[in-house]
Copies of this chain bind each other. A is one copy, B any other.
């Protein structure tokens, strides 16, 4: 594979721009195209940064697919557009870096992976947490059994600001596909075992939200290897982007704590005031977003195997479906994974 890979970027929202900047900073990529509905904004952005990149709208995506200098596509557009972009890109022989979720249900997701296999192209679901330096250290300690076997994984994961009501109304997957999916992938990855059962309790503090979705879920999982997991995942933490992981093992505990927004402290006789934690995922996971891109480039250049694979994604989907049943039936649900 070439030392510099031609990239087409679909979507210029928050995640799209993060990937664009990371591509600009990487000597291994050469962004050829950006695809955006609002091409006036796309043009303006590229001029502002003096970037020698072509732009077009999604309806002219064929032009991008026909460009032989494009080796891979980064998909950061809305979830409902993923399936079509994935299928067409694979058929045109492009590798794919795709924001989660691949698609909004397990069947179409499986079809995408089957197609990737058929065309022998990589389909990478960008579960960024796996590429966070702190979580990678934790994973490494677990794999090397530095503190023995894991007994209990605790994940706290809360967004700062709840989306507007309209968002819930139109959002099919709900909090499980939006957010809990990251926690479920994280614990599977850490534990290296499949779940035996899952129980989810949920609530909404805003009665309007309760009509469509949950604002807070408490997930309890029993793994086949005997470990347990508890996740508290919510739409709104107000005190910051809460992202903590903790693994109690036979011989101690491994943790990844929250990130402070800055390094300032003020102390008086009655209290010390320190900065709060980061309010935004773009700050907390800045390094993870760079690393996941570099991982994808490594895979394309044959330096390593893809870390987030088809089986991972399908298992997480099964877990989400079992979780949905658990919410509906108000009881734990067993998983028939072998």
Q: Is A170 an interface residue (CB 8 A)?
A: no
Number of copies: 4
Are B238 and A250 in touch, CB under 8 angstroms? yes
Residue among B4, B151, B218, B275 making CB contact with A228, cutoff 8 Å: B218
The distance in angstroms between the C-alpha atoms of A237 and B156, with both chains bound, is 19
Q: Is A166 an interface residue (CB 8 A)?
A: no
Q: Chain A 152-189 against B: per-residue CB contact (8 Å), 1 yes, 0 no?
A: 10101010100000000000000000000000000000
Q: Is A145 an interface residue (CB 8 A)?
A: no
**A238-B252 CB under 8 A given contacts A152-B216, A272-B275, A331-B331:** yes
Are A234 and B276 in touch, CB under 8 angstroms? no
For A330, list chain B residues within 8 Å (CB). 331-332
Q: Which of A129-159 contact B (CB under 8 A)?
A: 133-134, 137-138, 141, 146-147, 151-152, 154, 156, 158
Q: Is A68 an interface residue (CB 8 A)?
A: no
For A248, list chain B residues within 8 Å (CB). 158, 234, 237, 239
Q: Is A54 an interface residue (CB 8 A)?
A: no
Residue among B205, B228, B255 making CB contact with A267, cutoff 8 Å: B255
Q: Which of A103-144 contact B (CB under 8 A)?
A: 133-134, 137-138, 141
* Interface residue range, chain A: 35 or more
Are A151 and B239 in touch, CB under 8 angstroms? no
Are A50 and B50 in touch, CB under 8 angstroms? no
The distance in angstroms between the C-alpha atoms of A141 and B267, with both chains bound, is 12
For A56, list chain B residues within 8 Å (CB). none
Q: Is A2 an interface residue (CB 8 A)?
A: no
For A274, list chain B residues within 8 Å (CB). 271-274
Are B270 and A276 in touch, CB under 8 angstroms? yes
The distance in angstroms between the C-alpha atoms of A250 and B240, with both chains bound, is 12
Chain B CB within 10 Å, residue with most, of A160, A242, A275: A275
The distance in angstroms between the C-alpha atoms of A253 and B274, with both chains bound, is 12
Q: Chain A 268-283 against B: per-residue CB contact (8 Å), 1 yes, 0 no?
A: 1111111111010000
In the complex formed, the residue of B with least CB distance to A254 is B266
In the complex formed, the residue of B with least CB distance to A148 is B238
Are B232 and A230 in touch, CB under 8 angstroms? yes
Residue among B27, B154, B242 making CB contact with A48, cutoff 8 Å: B27
The distance in angstroms between the C-alpha atoms of A279 and B272, with both chains bound, is 13
Chain B CB within 10 Å, residue with most, of A154, A222, A239: A239
- Please give me the 9 A-B residue pairs with the lowest Cβ-Cβ distance, nearest first: A252-B268, A27-B48, A134-B263, A239-B267, A239-B252, A134-B262, A255-B265, A134-B264, A137-B264
Q: 20 A-B Cβ contacts within 8 A?
A: A27-B48, A27-B49, A50-B52, A52-B52, A133-B262, A134-B263, A137-B262, A138-B264, A152-B218, A158-B248, A199-B201, A237-B248, A238-B269, A239-B272, A240-B269, A242-B253, A251-B268, A252-B266, A253-B266, A268-B276
Q: 6 additional contacts, CB 8 Å, given A27-B49, A30-B50, A273-B274?
A: A4-B48, A134-B262, A152-B218, A201-B332, A238-B268, A256-B264
